[in-house]
A and B are shown apart, each in its own frame.
Chain A
Amino acid sequence: MAHDPTPLVESLLHEIAGLLADLAATGQGARIDLLGLPIGPAGRAALAERLGRGEVEAALDAGGTSEIWETGFAGVWWVRHFGADDRLATEQIEITTVPTILLSQPEDIAIAASRLAAGLAQHTELPQ
């Protein structure tokens, strides 16, 4: 006998709708941690089907891979981070304009700038 995920999925969709309205009105984002809910694979699949796919998909490789896509509802993102052996480490619904993890981080930018400058200096040194 399979557990019917429908009530939980409906409840989640109502929560997402409320948070999305907040984002539209105030710019305030939110996250829902799916791994903290007893939703199961069937529930995830049902939720994914209801939310659909939107215009953006991204793949990350930073300390393991990540899958990120905007759902069919602008501002609602599905974010999956994987750890070792491609095991799911985090799965969240983010209600935001763009997930922070996709942005280049200031610290990484500073290091990259130094690295690029050093590489160019080395490359342009004239042979003695």
Chain B
Amino acid sequence: MMDPDSIGALLARRGVSRRALLKYSTRLAALMALPAGSAEALADGLARAKRQSVIWLSFQECTGCTESLTRSFNPTIENLIFNIISLDYHETLQAASGTAAEAARLAAMAANKGKYVVVVDGSVSTRDGGVYSTNAGHTNLEILRQTAADALAVISVGSCAAFGGIAHARPNPTGAEPVSAIITDKPLINIPGCPPLPEAMAATIAYLVSFGKIPELDHLRRPRSLFGDSIHDRCYRRPFYDRGLFARSFDDEGARQGWCLYELGCKGPVTYNACATLKWNGGVSFPIQSGHGCLGCSEPDFWDQGGFYRPLSSNTTSTGTVVAAAAVGGVALGAVSALVARRRARLARQETTP
């Protein structure tokens, strides 16, 4: 007998067949790179689960992450995520405001103590007690600590919540920090990107609801299934990189031929995300397909990596992390980037030698 409060029962009342749920789960299982047969298990888990209470906190952010999630889920299978979660608090989407809105957050926390998921977009101001970003008379820092205290898990969506993002860029006047710097005693998942892929958000939440655990994460706490490959590894222009064929300006013959954008600053070799395969706007395209290099927006401190249009091999930022990774990647992937780096270094030495 189906639990009347389960997601399966809810969907049945709304006329959504189990076959449609299975179809949705097939997509989620593919996104999460789950083995064959997992779609059925995922659908079964979702159908038995109760709707997951989600409290969404928006801090120092631009609302792009919410836009990404909501704008991309038109009717049909994509919008099933909103049947799987109970979005109990979201400043941008909820009808309530002021005291009533805050009361809704506190009521959801009390009703689902220890069971709700906190989703955060935006970084957290910490300088001077966090006074540079407040809401309803409370700092973001206070609200985060209070709300996360009884949460089941925390999901940082977008590069601001995951890594500090643009607010964290030098000189970081508000003392912006990622959620992971503040919440250290809860399971935490990062889904970075500026904005993140909507499929990545939906699939991660659905996995959590269905299997009751967090998916396998990488060293930056990103779901490995979605952030396991670099943009470069999955890029359709990769064969040109391997053959040393590069566009050198945005309107030269190489650009017209669709050659690799490495020398125009593409950060694909050091950026881990699924844009090259899932793409954007319902699978229409992604930046590289549109003729622009990857900005590396799902990596920490992407804003401070020496310029979007400077090749990785010429990066001379104080951190040095990107150029090192590029050189290593170049060796592993055919030594092209390391060769370009050496060539550029030689040219630079010639230019500076009197």
**A interface residues with partner B (beta carbon < 8 Å):** 1, 3-4, 29-31, 33, 35-38, 40, 60, 62-64, 66, 81, 83-85, 87-90, 92, 100-101, 104-108, 111
Most B C-beta atoms less than 10 A away, residue of A30, A31, A37, A107: A107
Q: Does B335 contact A (CB under 8 A)?
A: no
A35 & B278 in contact (Cβ 8 Å cutoff): yes
Residues on the B chain within 8 Å of A66, using CB: 23
Q: Evaluate contact between B257 and A108: CB separation under 8 angstroms.
A: no
Give min CB distance, A117 to chain B, whole Å: 16
B331 at interface (Cβ–Cβ under 8 A)?
A: no
State which of A3, A31, A35, A104 has its C-beta within 8 Å of the C-beta of B36.
Answer: A31
Q: Is the CB–CB distance between B76 and A84 below 8 Å?
A: yes
Closest-CB distance, B206 to chain A (whole angstroms): 14
Q: State in angstroms the CA–CA spacing of A3 and B277 once bound together.
A: 16
Q: Is the CB of A83 within 8 A of B282?
A: yes
Could you tell me the dominant secondary structure of chain B's interface residues? helix
Which of B89-97, B169-177, B185-193, B231-239 is near enough to bind chain A?
Answer: B231-239
Cβ contact within 8 Å between A1 and B258:
yes
Answer yes or no: B111 CB below 8 A from chain A CBs: no
Contact flag A64-B277 (CB < 8 Å), given A81-B77, A83-B76, A84-B74: no
Provide the residues of chain B in CB contact with A3, threshold 8 Å: 236, 239
Question: Quick check: is B8 within 8 A (CB to CB) of the other chain?
Answer: yes
Contact of B26 among A1, A81, A104, A107 (CB under 8 A): A81
Considering the chains assembled together, what is the distance between the CA atoms of A51 and B182 in angstroms?
54
Q: Decide: B282 and A84 in contact? CB cutoff 8 A.
A: yes
Assuming the contacts A35-B277, A92-B26, asked whether A111 and B12 have C-beta atoms less than 8 A apart, the reply is yes
CA distance A106 to B1 in the complex (A): 12
Question: What per-residue 1/0 map shows which CB atoms of B160-183 lie under 8 Å from chain A?
Answer: 000000000000000000000000
Asked if A60 and B19 make an inter-chain contact with CB atoms under 8 angstroms apart, the answer reads: yes
Say how far B255's CB is from chain A's closest CB, in angstroms. 12
Asked whether B283 lies within 8 Å of A64 as measured between CB atoms, the reply is no
With A33-B30, A83-B282, A84-B74 known as contacts, the answer to whether A63 contacts B12 (CB < 8 A) is: no
Query: Does B310 reach chain A (CB closer than 8 Å)?
Result: no
Among the listed A89, A92, A108, which residue makes an inter-chain contact with B77, where contact means beta carbons less than 8 Å apart? A89
A62 to B238, CA, bound (A): 37
Q: Are A63 and B77 in contact (CB under 8 A)?
A: yes
Closest to A84 in B: B74
In the complex, chain B residues whose CB is within 8 Å of the CB of A89: 27, 77-78
Q: Digitize B70-113: 1 where CB-to-A-CB distance is under 8 Å, 0 elsewhere.
A: 00001111101000000000000000000000000000000000
Residue of chain A at shortest CB distance from B77: A63
- A35, B32: Cα distance in complex, Å: 12
Residues of B within 8 A of A92 (CB): 26, 30
Task: Establish whether residues B37 and A29, one from each chain, have CB atoms under 8 Å apart when the complex forms.
Answer: yes
Return chain A residues, CB-CB under 8 Å to B235.
38
Q: Is B33 a contact of A36 with CB atoms below 8 Å? A: yes
In the complex, A64→B258 CA distance in Å? 34
Most buried by A among B21, B30, B40, B278: B30
Residue B131 is within 8 A (CB to CB) of chain A in the complex: no
In the assembled complex, B22 has its CB within 8 A of some CB on chain A: yes
Q: Which residue of A lies closest to B37 (CB)?
A: A29
B282/A63 in contact, CB under 8 A: no
Min Cβ gap B296→A in Å is 19
A110 to B281, CA, bound (A): 37
What is the chain B residue whose CB lies nearest that of A96?
B36
Residue of B nearest to A64 (CB): B76
CB contact between B24 and one of A37, A60, A63 (< 8 Å): that residue: A63
The closest CB in chain B to the CB of A87 belongs to B282
| Minimal Cβ-Cβ distance residue in B for A34 | B30
Q: Is the CB of B23 within 8 A of A64?
A: yes
A62 and B23 in contact, given A29-B36, A38-B236 (Cβ under 8 angstroms): yes
In the assembly, what is the distance between CA of A37 and CA of B21, in Å? 24
A-chain residues with CB within 8 Å of residue B283 when the two chains form the complex: 35, 87-88
Q: List 27 A-B contacts (CB under 8 A).
A: A1-B240, A4-B239, A29-B37, A33-B33, A35-B283, A36-B33, A38-B238, A62-B17, A63-B17, A63-B20, A63-B21, A63-B76, A66-B23, A81-B23, A81-B26, A83-B77, A87-B283, A89-B77, A90-B23, A90-B26, A90-B27, A92-B26, A100-B39, A101-B26, A107-B8, A108-B18, A111-B12
Any chain A CB within 8 A of the CB of B47? Answer: yes
Tell me the bound Cα distance from A104 to B75 in angstroms.
Answer: 23
